[in-house]
């Protein structure tokens, strides 16, 4: 890959290529073809965050190989929705990596980890939502954010939320994770002056329809300023929250 870049620069010096042509080719040289995956090593420079591995439906050898290829570049590496077997394979190669079995993530921290001056708050309605909370938590940590977790403060015992309200208000952006009827996002949206990203979870009895009820409640919230991601998508909420927090 470095040989290709050297050749491009020599062509530019000789006047055989324009600046735009060199930039376009440099973008291409940062793609790594692996047969089963094409890694985008330029992503961190282009959008601010390196590529993240979504592990579901990938084999253990595929996950391990992708993780290793990304780690070589020196960035932090995050794998989400990882199986226990794949996590063990990654940890065998990278013993210092951080495995969160509840969140189903493995994160490798490389170099100095800079933390944001502002915080993200992750607020969950119940203990049953913790797998999504942990996925969001590990994501915002890996992207260099300070974060507070406030769990089990759903509307069924709303006094618990009020006890934590000042801590929540200190955050620059708030992720709200809730299943059942998903009302926590609407309640909190009327109490804070910060962006709220709502995550419906697939938690609830039969008529919750595996999170569809919470999703529709959040989409139809009467509180202004609420953005909603897909069901159980803690990673997506954390990614968006990190972008807001680091503006």
Task: Quote the pLDDT of residue 27.
Answer: 60
Could you give the domains of the chain?
34-108 (no CATH), 119-245 (3.40.50.1970)
pLDDT of 164 above 90: yes
Whether the Cβ atoms of residue 239 and residue 216 lie closer than 8 Å to each other: no
Could you tell me which residue, 113 or 58, shows the higher pLDDT? 58
pLDDT of 135 above 70: yes
pLDDT of 87 above 90: yes
Task: Quote the pLDDT of residue 241.
Answer: 97
Q: Which two tokens stand for residue 178?
A: 């809730």
pLDDT of 103 above 90: yes
- pLDDT tens digits along 167-183: 999 999 999 999 999 99
- Average pLDDT along the chain: 89
pLDDT of 2 above 90: no
Query: How big is the chain by its Cα radius of gyration, in Å?
Result: 21
1 pLDDT band, cuts 50/70/90, is: very low
Query: Exposed, middle or buried by CB within 10 Å (0-12, 13-18, 19+), for 240?
Result: middle
Phi-psi region of 28 (alpha: psi -120 to 50; beta: other; left: phi over 0): alpha
pLDDT of 41 above 80: no
Could you tell me which residue, 42 or 134, shows the higher pLDDT? 134
Could you tell me which residue, 225 or 200, shows the higher pLDDT? 200
Of 22-26, 41-45, 142-146, 200-204, the poorest mean pLDDT is in: 22-26
| Closest to 51 in 3D by CA, of 72, 70, 36, 69 | 70
pLDDT of 157 above 90: no
Crossing angle of helices 2-13 and 19-29, rounded to 10°: 180
């Amino acid at each position: 890959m470095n040989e290709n870049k050297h050749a491009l620069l020599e062509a530019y010096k000789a006047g055989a290529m324009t600046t735009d042509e060199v930039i376009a080719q440099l973008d291409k040289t940062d793609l790594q073809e692996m047969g089963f995956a094409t890694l985008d090593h330029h992503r961190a420079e282009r959008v601010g965050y390196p590529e993240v591995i979504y592990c579901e439906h990938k084999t253990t050898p595929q996950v391990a190989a992708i993780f290793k290829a990304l780690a070589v570049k020196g960035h932090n590496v995050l794998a989400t929705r990882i199986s226990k077997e794949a996590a063990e394979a990654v940890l065998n190669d990278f013993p210092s990596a951080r495995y969160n079995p509840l969140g189903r993530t493995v994160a490798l921290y490389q170099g100095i980890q800079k933390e944001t001056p502002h915080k993200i708050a992750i607020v969950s309605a119940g203990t049953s939502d913790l797998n999504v909370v942990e996925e969001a938590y590990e994501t915002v940590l890996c992207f260099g954010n300070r974060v507070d977790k406030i769990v089990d403060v759903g509307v069924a015992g709303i006094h618990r939320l009020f006890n934590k309200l000042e801590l929540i208000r200190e955050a620059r952006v708030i992720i709200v994770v809730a299943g059942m009827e998903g009302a926590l996002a609407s309640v909190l949206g009327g109490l804070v002056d910060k962006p709220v990203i709502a995550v419906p979870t697939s938690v609830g009895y039969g008529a919750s329809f595996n999170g569809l009820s919470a999703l529709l409640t959040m989409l139809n919230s009467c509180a202004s300023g609420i953005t909603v991601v897909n069901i159980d998508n803690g990673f997506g909420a954390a990614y968006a929250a990190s972008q807001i927090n680091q503006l």
